[in-house]
Structure 1
């Protein structure tokens, strides 16, 4: 880790553009944080940092056992800003510091700091990956030309191309020779005609004469 990469990371996370502003803010936070440490802890931390960041920690004073609120107030005094801004700046700079430190140095500091101060050095958790959109089983898979942007209006088979059935299965409309049984041109005749029982084909008199009755 060098000073440039440290300041660049602070600037990127804080959305800050001016290098001089980022350097002044980092110096105020590190000098105030050094006051929460005892001399041995301050030297161990300075050993893991490049110059001039290490010098901010060695200048002192090293009071040890300061509360989280006292740290924020010292940062506000050094920056000449409101407490809310000081809290935001402190968490930003110490968050980057905790990620840049070797793990052994960070764990040593957290053992001697109060839980609240030690938490300021905890590395940020990585952001979760974006959710993967899974297609539902009943959702049709859209192919080329089937999206709202590329599809054509209307259905895939317009009504003009459809060939609907014009009548039901038993309708005379679908018969090749409707009324075949009753048309004179094609009919075999009515029931009387087929059984030769019409007046034209009948013989005079009954089939059984009266003279034969009673026998």
Structure 2
């Protein structure tokens, strides 16, 4: 770890935008934090840091015993800002510091600082994995059966590849000889012609002669 990496991480996590802002915040927090350490612990911490971060720790003073509230107030005084901003900046910088420190150095500081200040150096926990029921299922192989739970949006056969029928089953569009029954060239005749009931095929006289009526 070098100074640039440390400050870039502070700027990114805190949304500070500029490295100069991250440097100002980091210096105020680390100098105030050094006051919570005894000289031996300050030297162990400085040994794990690049320049000029190590100098901010070594310069002192090293009181060796400060409360969490006192630390925040010292940061606010150094920054010339409100206590709320000082609390936010302290947790930001010490969080980055905790992630950057070797485990042996961090554990040594924790033994002296106690749980309240020691928690400020706790490494960030990795994001938990999503629950099983929220994980995205593996995509099925094409051609294999799919269900609503495993299927993908869309159709296995896109519309661009479809060849829909352009007419229903009884449509004249699909017939080989549309209107064939009524065309003169191919028709077997109208209904009367097919039933042989036209004038040309009829016999003279009524179906029932007059002589037979009344019987």
TM-score, shorter chain, exceeding 0.5:
yes
Cα RMSD (Å) of the superposition? Answer: 2.9
Question: Partners in 2 of 1:113 and 1:162 — Cα distance?
Answer: 86
SS in 2 for 1:113: helix
In 2, distance between residues paired with 1:97 and 1:30? 9
> 1:5 Cα shift?
0.7
Matches within 5 A, 1:36-185: 36-129=36-129, 131-134=134-137, 138-139=147-148, 141-142=151-152, 146=155, 161=168
- The alpha carbon displacement at 1:128 in A equals 2.5
Partner of 1:24: 24
Decide whether the 8 Å contact of 1:35 with 1:61 is kept in 2.
Answer: yes
Gaps of at least 5 residues in structure 2 are 139-145, 171-215
Shift of residue 51, structure 1, vs aligned partner? 0.9
Q: Secondary structure at the match of 1:120?
A: helix
Q: For structure 1, which runs of at least 5 residues remain unmatched after alignment?
A: 164-215
For 1:32 and 1:18, locate their aligned partners in 2 and report how far apart those are by CA, in whole Å.
Answer: 22
Q: Which has the larger radius of gyration?
A: 1
In the TM superposition, residue 141 of structure 1 has moved relative to its aligned partner by: 2.5
CA distance in 2, matches of 1:141, 1:34: 58
TM superposition score normalised by structure 2: 0.65
Contact 2:42 2:57 in 1 (8 A): yes
